[in-house]
Structure 1
Amino acid sequence: MIPIGPPPWLFILICLGFLAAALLWIIWILRLAFSHRARRHLRSWRGLAFVLLSAIGCHTLWSVYTFQRALAAYEAEDKLNRRPVLAESRRLAGIDMPAGTALVLQLARTPEAFNRAEFPHPVPIGGVETLRVERYLSIHTDENYRTTGFTPENLRLTGLGESRQAGWLCDATVPIIFATHPDGSIKSFESCTAGAGNLVEGQPLPKGAEIIATEGTVYLDGSRGSDRWLIHLPPDAGLLVHGAQQKGGALLLDAGRKVVRQVPG
Structure 2
Amino acid sequence: MCWIALIALAAYYGFFQWTVYQYKKEQERELASRQHVLKETGRFAGLLMPAGTQLELAVWGDPDSVAWARFPEAVGVAKAPVLSFERPRPDLADSHWHMQLARDVELEGWLCDSSQVVEMQQDPLAEGGFRLASCVLAEGNRITAWSPYAAAFNLSSAPDLVLALPKGTRVQARPEGTRYTNGERDQDRWLLRVEAEGLQLSAWSLPLERAYLAVDEHQKLLYLSHAQLAQETQWGGFTYPVGTQFSSPNYRLFPQWPLLLKAVVPAQGDSVPTQERIHALPGGEILDEFH
The answer to whether the superposition gives a TM-score over 0.5 is yes
1:131 aligns with 2:83: yes
Match of 2:109 among 167, 172, 181: 167
1:248 aligns with 2:210: yes
Q: Which residue of 1 aligns with 2:133?
A: 190
Q: Which residue of 1 aligns with 2:148?
A: none
Does the CA-based 8 Å contact 1:196-1:207 persist in structure 2? yes
Percent of aligned pairs with the same residue?
Answer: 25
Alignment of 1:1-265 (within 5 A): 49-50=2-3, 52-53=4-5, 55-137=7-89, 139=91, 151-181=93-123, 186-201=129-144, 202-214=162-174, 215-235=176-196, 236-262=198-224, 263-265=226-228
Q: Report Cα offsets for 1:119-168 as digits up to 9, x if no partner.
A: 233222222221211224364xxxxxxxxxx6352322112220110111
SS at match of 1:249: strand
Q: TM-score, normalised by structure 1?
A: 0.67
SS at match of 2:184: coil
CA distance, structure 1, for counterparts of residue 6 and residue 202 of structure 2: 79
Q: Report Cα offsets for 1:156-191 as digits up to 9, x if no partner.
A: 211222011011100123222222148xx7342222
Does the CA-based 8 Å contact 1:163-1:169 persist in structure 2? yes
Aligned-pair Cα RMSD in Å: 2.5
CA distance, structure 1, for counterparts of residue 30 and residue 101 of structure 2: 28
SS at match of 1:77: helix
Q: Which residue of 1 aligns with 2:251?
A: none
Give 1:81 deviation, angstroms.
2.2
Pair 125,187 (structure 1): closer, same or farther in 2 beyond 3 Å: closer
CA distance, structure 1, for counterparts of residue 220 and residue 207 of structure 2: 16
CA distance, structure 2, for counterparts of residue 226 and residue 181 of structure 1: 20
CA distance, structure 2, for counterparts of residue 161 and residue 207 of structure 1: 15
Q: Which residue of 2 aligns with 1:30?
A: none
Does the CA-based 8 Å contact 1:206-1:234 persist in structure 2? no
Pair 231,237 (structure 1): closer, same or farther in 2 beyond 3 Å: same
- The residue type paired with residue 110 of structure 1 is D
Answer 1 or 2: which has greater helix percent.
1
Does the CA-based 8 Å contact 1:212-1:231 persist in structure 2? yes
- The residue type paired with residue 88 of structure 1 is E
Q: TM-score, normalised by structure 2?
A: 0.62
Aligned length: 205
CA distance, structure 2, for counterparts of residue 67 and residue 98 of structure 1: 40
- The residue type paired with residue 97 of structure 2 is L
Pair 152,108 (structure 1): closer, same or farther in 2 beyond 3 Å: farther
Does the CA-based 8 Å contact 2:54-2:70 persist in structure 1? yes
SS at match of 1:137: coil
Give 1:74 deviation, angstroms.
0.6
Unaligned runs of 5+ in 2: 145-161, 229-291
CA distance, structure 2, for counterparts of residue 237 and residue 245 of structure 1: 10
- The residue type paired with residue 160 of structure 1 is A
SS at match of 2:72: strand
Pair 244,221 (structure 1): closer, same or farther in 2 beyond 3 Å: farther
- The residue type paired with residue 255 of structure 1 is E
Q: Which residue of 2 aligns with 1:6?
A: none
SS at match of 1:67: helix
Give 1:63 deviation, angstroms.
0.8
SS at match of 1:155: strand
Does the CA-based 8 Å contact 1:233-1:248 persist in structure 2? yes
Pair 69,226 (structure 1): closer, same or farther in 2 beyond 3 Å: closer
